[in-house]
Amino acid sequence: MADRRKEKSPYTEDRNIPGAFEGETVTRRRLMVGSVHAFGAMATAAIGLPALGFALGPVFERQRARWEDVGTPEDFVDFTYRPKVITVESGAGEVGKTTVYVRKHNEEVDGPVKDSYDDFVAISTRCMHLGCPVRYIDASQRFVCPCHGGVYDFVGKVSGGPPVRPLDRFYTRVRRGRLEIGPRYSVNSELRRFSPRDAGQPLDGIGQYLYPRRFTTPELD
Amino acid sequence: MPKLKLPNPIPDQLRPRPQRPGEGNGRKSTKDVVIESGRDAGISVVDWVDERTSLSGAARWTMFRKVPKGTNWFYTLGSATMFAFLSQAVTGVFLAMYYDPSPTRAYESTRHITNEVFLGEFVRGMHKWGATVMMVLIFLHMGRTFFFGAYKYPRELNWVVGVVLLVLTMIMSLTGYLLPFDQRSFWATIVADNINGTGPFLGPYLADFLRAGPEFGATTLARFYSIHMLLVPGAIAALIGVHLYLVAKLGTTAPPWVKAEEPEQLRTEKV
């Protein structure tokens, strides 16, 4: 439908507006209304954006790598795991602690040592289905999850149930004669290292692109 | 004259006998004046407020609506849901007086509420089971709306608002589940958080947002608590207002088995 209204001139002078002057197109009223809206938007943004940033901040905050002493290297063997409790999050009491299964690197099952972080294997107890705590059963040499029946073999690879990738691991190092457990990392089914991903996120094939690295990943020092 | 017709607060039997002609000297006694003004006081107060707010009009518009023939008990499920929400709000406020949302104290304070606070177990039980009741009522209400065809024109927007309310209530269930902070709450929240993390591309960041970091930490519980008791209840209350406004504005539907009455004219023509 065509606009049936009379074509209006853009100039205020032609529209008989009092006080109009030549070349003026924006009336004073429109200018005032526009600036009041703009100031309102600025005031809202001045409160809203910091509040939003406050809530979203932790997503973009890089964590610091923490290394926790778990004993001397001689405490560990290469044919079975020793459970150790480490703190992964300070200030949260018991909730910030987690169990880690630690053993010496075993060339028969793990292949050659990759780098200085690979002399010990520290397996996370976080099930890679949805994050429940797995337990190592020595008799069957399996990690078993109580929630939905995930089963992992001796090196943490999935041998049954719903988990989407092998159990996470922690970097390990020996400093001043003590074994230290560092930040978490994730592995795909070939045990290639990735930055830590949450449970339930596959890392084989397209998975590594669907679930990108997070901003909170600590830098290894 | 008062605009509102309120029931007389004094029953007929107790009312003073009207004066017979010739009785007294034609002037009211002090006692009568006091009784009379006492009787009018309530009406005057209501009138004073009404004159300044026109609330009676709004109240009449909301409450005294035309209701279709065949309206039955199924139509009360929405109000029942709302009262479940109000009950959750009230018991929640009282629970918040004793609850401590810190990861080291939360379980202890929940235990304290359940075992030591006077009627604490009752109030906590109301809140806990009330949550389930609310969920059940919402789905019954939704089923009523669906099977009675009450989502059709012009009530589509109210259906949409209702679905948003359903999702918000589910967020309440999820965030509230963590608060007792026992083993079940904790691991259920880990699982829920990891399910959120499995969304492609944004999932990992969403999981970090919910946890306030890469690991379940000191602020995760506080974050859930704040969402549970401030953010979502406010949104639910506001949307219930919108939902009710639309109900009052559009009216309710007749049940599908009630046939519309034909106009007189058409009926005679058919015969």
Residue pLDDT, tens place only, B69-95:
899 999 999 999 999 999 999 999 999
Q: How many whole angstroms separate alpha carbon B209 and alpha carbon B192?
A: 13
Q: Which of A89, A93, A198 sits opposite B194 (nearest CB)?
A: A198
What digits encode the pLDDT tens for the residues B129-141? 999 999 999 999 9
C-alpha torsion angle, residues A190, A193, A199, A201 (rounded to 10): -70
Domains delineated in chain B = 77-250 (1.20.810.10)
A147 CB neighbours in chain B (<8 A) are 187, 191
Judge: A59–B209 Cβ closer than 8 Å, yes or no.
yes
pLDDT bin (cut points 50, 70, 90) of residue B37 is confident
Mean pLDDT of chain B: 90
Cα separation, A136 vs B218, in Å, equals 28
Q: Where are the domains of chain A?
A: 8-61, 68-210
Domain A68-210 class in CATH: mainly beta
Q: Does B11 score more than 70 pLDDT?
A: no
Structure confidence by residue, pLDDT tens digits, B147-170: 999 999 999 999 999 999 999 999
Distance CA A32, CA A26 (A): 10
CB A132 within 8 A of CB B192: no
Radius of gyration from C-alpha coordinates of chain A = 30
Smallest Cβ–Cβ distance between A214 and the set B187, B193, B214 belongs to B214
- The ipTM is 0.86
B6 confidence band (pLDDT: 50, 70, 90): low
Q: Tell me, what's the pLDDT at A38? A: 98
Q: What is the number of CB-based contacts under 8 A between chain A and chain B?
A: 97
Contacts of A96 in chain B (CB under 8 A): 103, 215-218
The amino acid sitting at B71 is: T
Across the interface, whether the CB atoms of A199 and B203 are under 8 A apart is answered: no
pLDDT score at A28:
85
Nearest CB partner across the interface for B208, out of A92, A201, A214: A214
Cα-atom radius of gyration of chain B, to the nearest Å? 27
Residue B188 exposure: Cα atoms within 13 Å on the Cβ side: 13
Nearest to A184 by CA among A133, A117, A130, A137: A117
- Angstrom CA distances, B150 to B59, B76, B145, B155, stand at 24, 14, 5, 7
Q: Which of helix, strand or coil describes residue A185?
A: strand
* Positions of chain A with pLDDT under 50: none
Mutation for A interface: B108, B178, B191, B202, most A CBs within 10 A: B191
The CA-to-CA distance between both ends of chain A, in Å, stands at 69
